[in-house]
Amino acid sequence: MSSLENTPADQITEDQWRERLTPDEYAVLRKAGTERPFTGEYTDTKTEGVYACRACGAELFRSSEKFESHCGWPSFFDPKDTDAVILHEDRSMGMKRVEVVCANCKSHLGHVFEGEGYDTPTDQRYCINSISLTLRPKE
């Protein structure tokens, strides 16, 4: 991390985000891009721990809520807590979806889908870009 490490996320400019993140991270986290399916670092990871926002470090998801959806991206059935993420309607790409953003820094994480029939407690699939996350393994 740069000298921005202790700067509140809402005070970081887009130029500073560009300096802080790699071009691929910036494209996904700050420009709502999507990494290619089945290429992400955490798609098949089974390591226990907490998944944090790669941009700001806020804790977002637990490994205990991660499940195998075989969709090409890490999938979770619930965020770490209800205030960890914000959901927004997303009508880009000619469809209606629900975007998931980090509540702390407003970076794009992915999308959440409902009613797909997965055997999870919430019937939701938080489809999250690996590049938006950092895994902090359980000690």
Residues 30-81 pLDDT 10s: 999 999 999 999 999 999 999 999 999 999 999 999 999 999 999 999 998 7
Q: Which CATH class is domain 10-137?
A: mainly beta
Angstrom distance (rounded) from CA 38 to CA 114: 21
53 catalytic per annotation: no
72-121 tens-digit pLDDT: 999 999 998 779 999 998 887 777 889 999 999 999 999 999 999 999 99
Do residues 17 and 27 lie in contact, with contact meaning Cβ atoms separated by under 8 Å? no
Specify the residue for token string 């721990």: 49
pTM of the model: 0.90
Angstrom distance (rounded) from CA 39 to CA 36: 6
Angstrom distance (rounded) from CA 21 to CA 30: 9
Angstrom distance (rounded) from CA 138 to CA 64: 11
**Token pair for 14:** 């887009």
